[in-house]
Structure 1
Amino acid sequence: MATLLYGRDLVPLVIIAASVVMWSRRDTRFVWIFVALYILCIHVAIGLLFTSGVVQVLFGLKILSSVFVGLFIGCVANDTALLGWRTAYLLLLVSVVGIFVNYFVAYPWGGGEFSSAFGTVAMAKDWAMDGVRRLAGFARASYDAASVVGALMIVVLSYCNRFYLKSFAAALSLAAIFMTTTKGAAISGMVVVVVWLTYLLFASALVLRVALLIVAILSLAIPLGTVVLFPSSLSVGKSALLLSSFVERITYMWPMALKNVTESGSLIFGRGVGGIGVPQLFGEWWIHNAADNIFVYGYSVFGMASLVYVLCYVVTIIRSPTKSRHTLFAHLFSIFTFSYGITANVFEQPVLLSGLAASAILVLANRNRG
């Protein structure tokens, strides 16, 4: 199992090596991989300055390396589909069945662990919240399962030609995501379906653009607004079950993450790669913070540059050709990830991070061809 884990981690290195070869053959499609590598090197240097050591920064780099996978997919994808929608449909059905069966049967690998160079790693997280099992299906955790199902649903909605198949996929996906009890992903999935239906009803890309702008703004405004407006004395214990985790983010997680930046980082440069989230367990376990928000995590790692990156990304997506299927995919995937990222750590979910990178490259390439 550990060998498979290391093999997966080698994929970004293989991609970078392949990009060097293609670049030497004057294939300019892969230039964005070098741009991303250059940017990450800068933030790695900042991480070495503000965090506790090399291991922590390397683990942070390992997490962010999913970007290279997404960039590579965006570079090599053909003109009609990011992932053959039939393949995506099959994978979606397998994922959904895995979650449904998991409701009745506890898989034998649930709760299993193995040793790796980074310590003990869970094969699959077997856990419950307030007595309710959080189903992971064939994924490593319930939130991973929800992300995979959401991503595959968006591929089908974007590239499949048959409305009844897309509608069936959407219904199955939402049901499976609800069964994982991942509230943020469930809400985001519903948002995506509503936006998709509205887009079909009005046949206007303006629907997609407005929806993306709204969720992008909310992902920034909600953590900043709640930190300022809500009193720190707000009790998690007195809040409703559905809101308890959100209240915990308001009263502790987000304020402490921003405090870590001000006290052991830079307001301008953040804390660098490895400065927040799981990498802290390998050097700064006493101030570990999941930073369950796309802005809070991004600002902790990239500082003020995170605002520039998000702005460039959103502008790239909303300026994409209006009649391209890649445009639909990029908008729906971004809407799902940004809305989910309001209360979740999407940076540490490879399928979402790589999907964002692929979305940007797909629309850039399509716009250049247009």
Structure 2
Amino acid sequence: MIGPLAVLGATQMTRLRLHPAFLIFGLILAFHGMVLMGTIGSIGGVAYGGKVLMNLLFGFFAAGLLISPEGRGLKILAAIWLIILAGLCLDKFVLTFPWTGIKTIVGDLNVDVSKDWQIQDPLSRRVAGFTRSSIAAAAILPCLTIVLLCRVKRAWLRCVIAASSVAAVFLTTQKGALIALLPIAGILCTPVTVGRLGWLRLCLMAFLMLSIALPVMSFGLHMDHGSGVFSTQSIYLRIAYTWPDALRWIDRHQMLWFGVGLGGIGGPQRLYAPNDFNPVDNMPILLYAYFGVFAVFYTAIVCFHALRPLTGSRERLEAAVAVVAFAFGYGTVLSVIEDQSASLFLGAALGVLWRETKARLPIAANTAAASPS
């Protein structure tokens, strides 16, 4: 991602036409990177955080290829969708994924790392497919599905694509992705005349509020849970441990209202605080750790563009709003922005929102424009 972006930026600079996105993105990285240097002092953490967000910028410039592909590009994305679908089915019902973990001894302590992560029950064992992780498969497949559903005109084919994708996501056992995909796929299977864009915007706002409210409203909640991939155990673990630990980490290390800084939690912690590593498993919490109160500002900008009047292609805008809605829906129980494919499509969706919408003009301006000169 960095190589093509560097070439694009250098080319634009030689023509004295550097896109504002480069400057804005650079300022964001620099400011919040300085916050992390002040709180943690880890250059590696800043670099890791920058790597996580770099896919957003790449996707922003590749928006047309990812959100509204045509011709060969559409065929390539459709082929990737089919390959992932086939890979999930093969790995679920035919093949056996070879990974069974790592064993080592640290001092006198036996350590098993991700040992036997496959569940023995053939109907519920976690699968990987060609993306090697069920989380990765559950992140990229719905994004590809959204793009295909917005490009396919025949209603019966949209229903087949949606049903196949929902079934494939079910195989990954990622309940968050499944719950986020179901309403979006259902909306995109309806005719355009029923107001799909309005329903997608409503879905986006609902998922955004849920992703913010769930960790807060469930704090200290004790609930019964079973075991297995389709029980409530995973959400219970987030409520009981992951989210409270993440919030405590942020509270101890944040700088005023600026959060911990770029790379202040999640994957970057492996570089500077491996014993305190927290997967976060919630996008708003991750954004708050990275950006502090600025996370509210950045999220508000995304919502503002998603709700602005349409000026370009309705097809592209529907796909973009659907991708952002899925990101926040799955982001309720996962730091989905840390997944490269998900952040790539999210960046592409932001690029489409920026290009295909415009702000409403004030009433006075509209009146002046309508009055004769």
Same-fold call, TM > 0.5?
yes
Partner of 2:136: 144
Answer yes or no: is 1:165 the counterpart of 2:153: no
Which residue among 40, 55, 58 is the counterpart of 1:69? 58
Does the 8 A contact of 2:67 with 2:348 survive in 1? no
Does the 8 A contact of 2:56 with 2:347 survive in 1? yes
Partner of 1:119: none
Residues 146-185 of structure 1 deviation map (CA, whole Å, 9 limit, x = unaligned)? 1121111011011222322222111111111111111111
Does the 8 A contact of 2:60 with 2:347 survive in 1? yes
* Aligned mates of 1:125, 1:359 — CA distance in 2: 37
* Residue-pair matches, total: 344
Which residue among 77, 81, 101 is the counterpart of 2:69? 81
- Structure 1 residues 320 and 36: alpha-carbon distance in aligned structure 2, compared to 1, 3 A threshold: farther
Does the 8 A contact of 1:50 with 1:265 survive in 2? yes
Shift of 1:139: 0.4
Partner of 2:341: 351
SS in 2 for 1:149: helix
* Aligned mates of 1:57, 1:172 — CA distance in 2: 39
Aligned counterparts, 1:217-366, within 5 A = 217-227=209-219, 230-231=220-221, 234=223, 242-321=231-310, 324-366=314-356
Partner of 1:216: 208
TM-score (norm 1): 0.84
* Aligned mates of 1:279, 1:41 — CA distance in 2: 16
Aligned residues: CA RMSD: 2.9
Shift of 1:134: 1.2
- Structure 1 residues 252 and 77: alpha-carbon distance in aligned structure 2, compared to 1, 3 A threshold: same
Which residue among 86, 90, 95 is the counterpart of 1:97? 86
Shift of 1:130: 7.7
Partner of 1:19: 9
Stretches of structure 2 lacking an aligned partner (at least 5 in a row): 103-113, 359-373
Stretches of structure 1 lacking an aligned partner (at least 5 in a row): 1-10, 114-123
SS in 2 for 1:342: coil
Q: What letter matches 1:73 in structure 2?
A: A
Shift of 1:241: 5.6
Which residue among 1, 23, 33 is the counterpart of 1:44? 33
* Aligned mates of 1:112, 1:33 — CA distance in 2: 41
- Structure 1 residues 339 and 286: alpha-carbon distance in aligned structure 2, compared to 1, 3 A threshold: same
* Aligned mates of 1:92, 1:334 — CA distance in 2: 19
Q: Taking every aligned residue pair, what percent have the same amino acid on both sides?
A: 27
SS in 1 for 2:357: helix
Tell me which structure has the larger Cα radius of gyration: 2
Answer yes or no: is 1:134 the counterpart of 2:123: no
Shift of 1:91: 1.4
SS in 2 for 1:84: helix
Which residue among 40, 43, 47 is the counterpart of 1:54? 43
Residues 120-164 of structure 1 deviation map (CA, whole Å, 9 limit, x = unaligned)? xxxx99833585421111002111011121111011011222322
Does the 8 A contact of 1:12 with 1:68 survive in 2? no
Does the 8 A contact of 2:67 with 2:147 survive in 1? no
Does the 8 A contact of 1:222 with 1:342 survive in 2? yes
Does the 8 A contact of 1:16 with 1:33 survive in 2? no
* Aligned mates of 1:26, 1:165 — CA distance in 2: 46
* Aligned mates of 1:255, 1:80 — CA distance in 2: 40
Shift of 1:310: 0.6
* Aligned mates of 1:44, 1:155 — CA distance in 2: 33
SS in 2 for 1:270: coil
* Aligned mates of 2:261, 2:77 — CA distance in 1: 35
- Structure 1 residues 107 and 204: alpha-carbon distance in aligned structure 2, compared to 1, 3 A threshold: closer
Residues 317-351 of structure 1 deviation map (CA, whole Å, 9 limit, x = unaligned)? 12151752111111111111111100011121111
Q: What letter matches 2:174 in structure 1?
A: T
* Aligned mates of 1:179, 1:80 — CA distance in 2: 27
